[in-house]
Amino acid sequence: MSAEQELDCLAYVDEAESNRYDSRAVFSEVGLGVEVEEYDSFTLYKWEGDIDFETVLETVQPHFPFVENPALEMINAKDEALRYSSERDHETMDNELVYDPVREWRGEDRWGDYELIQINLNRAKVVWDDKQASNRLRIYEIEDKSDAFEQLFPEIMDSSKAERIADDVKAFKTQN
């Protein structure tokens, strides 16, 4: 990342290489901010907002259609971890804990028992975390060419501020 950018939403850049990450930037508008951390094999985007998981799911699915079950990883609010082995065949797995886009869940509180849900996508992960006062959202882009953040963030947050931040993040990524 380079601190020489003239972007409206860029608030902070730390290019110091550390054991934790290579660089970090913060993009913010009044009342909304995104922290971006670059690691060797992925980029992490994280922010907080009052967003329920159903909204996140409805936003993700049109951009990343669930041809197969995305094998959600969910942590129960009772701190009981419910995890899946990556060696299992998620396509044929029949389990209440894996989201099935064909099945109807209307009228049920499908996600109410969970405080952390991770959607595993092809080139990214989307994590919704309800452990704190406001929901924390994280997007992990596994490949440099992934634009999951730029596609999802403005729609999840549904504001012109989010669009400006996403545009600045995209400009920042392409210039570096």
Q: What is the pLDDT of residues 46-72, one digit of tens each?
A: 999 888 888 898 898 888 876 555 555
Q: How far apart are the first and last CA of the chain?
A: 6
Is the separation of the CB atoms in 41 and 22 below 8 Å? no
For strands 32-38 and 23-29, give the pairing: antiparallel
Residue 162: its pLDDT value, please? 93
Q: What is the pLDDT of residues 9-47, one digit of tens each?
A: 888 888 767 666 678 889 998 889 999 998 888 999 999
Smallest Cα–Cα separation from 45: which of 122, 154, 131? 154
Q: What DSSP state is assigned to residue 102? A: T
Residue 87: its pLDDT value, please? 46
Residue 12: its pLDDT value, please? 80
Smallest Cα–Cα separation from 131: which of 152, 110, 117? 117
Enter the pTM of the model.
0.76
Higher pLDDT, 107 or 120: 120
Our measurement of the distance from residue 134's CA atom to the centroid of its chain's CA atoms, rounded to an integer in Å, reads 15
Residue 137: its pLDDT value, please? 95
171 pLDDT higher than 80: yes
Q: What is the pLDDT of residues 119-170, one digit of tens each?
A: 888 788 899 988 777 889 999 998 777 889 999 999 999 888 999 999 999 9
Could you tell me the pLDDT band of residue 88, with boundaries at 50, 70 and 90?
Answer: very low
